[in-house]
Structure 1
Amino acid sequence: MFNQSPYDIRIEWGRRGAREAAEREDIVIIVDVLSFSSTVISALRYGARIYPYPPNLDGSEYAKKVGAEFILGRAEAAKIGKPTLSPVSFNKEHSKKKYVMSSLNGAFCTWISSKVPALLIGSLINASSVASVANRLKLETKVNITVVPCGEQWSDVRENEDTLRPSIEDYLGAGAILSYLDGERSPETEVCIGAFHNAKPRINELIWECGSGRELRERGFEGDVKHCGRLNVYQTVPILYKDHFVAAP
């Protein structure tokens, strides 16, 4: 059976990886660069409270239950000036307000692995900071760390095909975080770190030109791609507390 059990630091893809990390009771770092992770980080930086919720359940009904606003899709919300899955849509006006955020990848993976000892949100924009918090928690709890790049979902899946589309932005985000983590690393993590170090001098350009980046740009969200492609610009580290994210100390 495939596993990375001899190692302290591991990497697992998508929903399956999130489930396996949860079953092992690892510390989990969810990485969805474009853009659930980057949006949660940016929202918390301005003091908003984010409740993650899977897209296969009724997020609007859940929002009523917790007294929050349900975040709409990018294009729909942008027309009426509401915050969206776009990280640049949050600002100081959203401080202390509550939002339910649903997404196919980051929110779903968070939901699946929500019962772990600690669940953190990482991206390129907070890579060193999220690793620092994870290192501290690892020392305190004596628990291993799994980084989960979420990837994307194919939109035209045919019979007998997988839905997961591995994405380079999440792989590079995971590699950035892994490069700062302490402990014995699996071969899979070493390769991911190598990819990040090779890409680091051109990280902005690669995120801009990757398939996911082009997709967002073609839909008019160039600002999102620029925002998410930066390295270590924020110290905010979201950690799941019961049903919502708070900023880790």
Structure 2
Amino acid sequence: MFNQAPFSCRVEWGIRGAREAAERGDIIIIVDVLSFSSTVISALRQGAIIYPYPPNLDGKSFAEKIGAEYILGRAEAAKAGKPTLSPVSFKKKHYNKKYVLSSLNGAFCTWMAAKVPALLIGSLLNASAVASVANKLRLQSKANITVVPCGEQWNEVREHENSLRPSIEDYLGAGAVLSYLEGEKSPEAEVCIGAFQNAKEKITELIWECGSGRELRQKGFEEDVSHCSRLNIYEAVPILNNDHFVSAN
């Protein structure tokens, strides 16, 4: 059976990887660069309270139940002047307000892996900071660490096809986080780190031109792509506390 069992720092893709890491009892770092992870980090930095919620359940009803606002799609929210999955949409005026955030990738992976010793949110924005927190938690709990690049979903999936679309922005984000983690790395993690280190000097250009980056830019969200490509600009580290994120540092 496939596993990375001998190693304390691992990398696993998507919802399946998140579930298996949770079943092992690992510390999990969810990486969804464009844009769930970057949005949660940016929102936490502004003092907003984010409740992750899977898109296949009724997030609007959940938001009403807890007295939160359900986050709309990018275009719809932009017209209404509300915060959205766009990380740059969160401002100081959103301090201490509750928001329910659904997404096909990052929120879904978070939901799948919620019951673990610690679930952290990582991205390029906070790669060093989230790794520092994870290193401390590993020493305290003796648990292993799995970094989960979420990837994207293919549209119009045909019968017998897998819907996961691996994405370079999440792979590079995972490599950045892994590069700062302590402990023995699996071969899969070492290769992921190597990809990040090779791309580090041109990471902004690579994410700008990658498929996911171009997809967002074509929809008018160039600022999101630029923002999410920046390395280690924030110290904010979201950690899941029951059903919402709080600061881990």
TM-score (norm 2): 1.00
Residue deviations 1:173-221, cap 9 Å, x none? 0000000000010000000000000000000000100000000000000
Matches within 5 A, 1:83-162: 83-162=83-162
Q: Amino acid of the residue matched to residue 94 of structure 1?
A: H
Shift of 1:65: 1.1
Residue deviations 1:101-144, cap 9 Å, x none? 00000000000000000000000000000000000000010000
Q: Amino acid of the residue matched to residue 11 of structure 2?
A: I
Partner of 1:67: 67
Partner of 2:172: 172
Matches within 5 A, 1:1-80: 1-80=1-80
Q: Amino acid of the residue matched to residue 216 of structure 1?
A: L
Q: Amino acid of the residue matched to residue 16 of structure 2?
A: R
Residue deviations 1:128-182, cap 9 Å, x none? 0000000000001000000000000001111100000000000000000000000
Partner of 2:211: 211
Partner of 1:192: 192
Residue deviations 1:39-75, cap 9 Å, x none? 0000000000000000000000000111100000000
Q: What is the distance in 2 between the residues matched to 1:190 and 1:42?
A: 28
Q: What is the distance in 2 between the residues matched to 1:212 and 1:154?
A: 11
Unpaired runs of at least 5, structure 2: none
- Counterpart secondary structure, 2:29: strand
Alignment root-mean-square deviation, CA: 0.3
- Counterpart secondary structure, 1:78: helix
Q: Amino acid of the residue matched to residue 80 of structure 1?
A: A
Q: Amino acid of the residue matched to residue 117 of structure 2?
A: P
Residue deviations 1:69-102, cap 9 Å, x none? 0000000000010000000000000000000000
Q: Amino acid of the residue matched to residue 136 of structure 2?
A: R
Q: What is the distance in 2 between the residues matched to 1:207 and 1:53?
A: 26
Q: What is the distance in 1 between the residues matched to 2:248 and 2:202?
A: 30
Q: What is the distance in 2 between the residues matched to 1:247 and 1:168?
A: 27
Q: What is the distance in 2 between the residues matched to 1:65 and 1:23?
A: 29
> How many aligned positions are there?
249
Q: Amino acid of the residue matched to residue 233 of structure 2?
A: V
Matches within 5 A, 1:227-246: 227-246=227-246
Residue deviations 1:14-47, cap 9 Å, x none? 0000000000000000000000000000000000
Q: Amino acid of the residue matched to residue 25 of structure 2?
A: E
Unpaired runs of at least 5, structure 1: none
Q: What is the distance in 2 between the residues matched to 1:67 and 1:6?
A: 45
Q: Amino acid of the residue matched to residue 231 of structure 1?
A: L
- Counterpart secondary structure, 2:128: helix
Q: What is the distance in 2 between the residues matched to 1:192 and 1:81?
A: 38
Q: What is the distance in 1 between the residues matched to 2:174 and 2:80?
A: 34
Q: What is the distance in 2 between the residues matched to 1:248 and 1:67?
A: 24
Q: What is the distance in 1 between the residues matched to 2:10 and 2:191?
A: 11
Q: What is the distance in 2 between the residues matched to 1:23 and 1:59?
A: 25
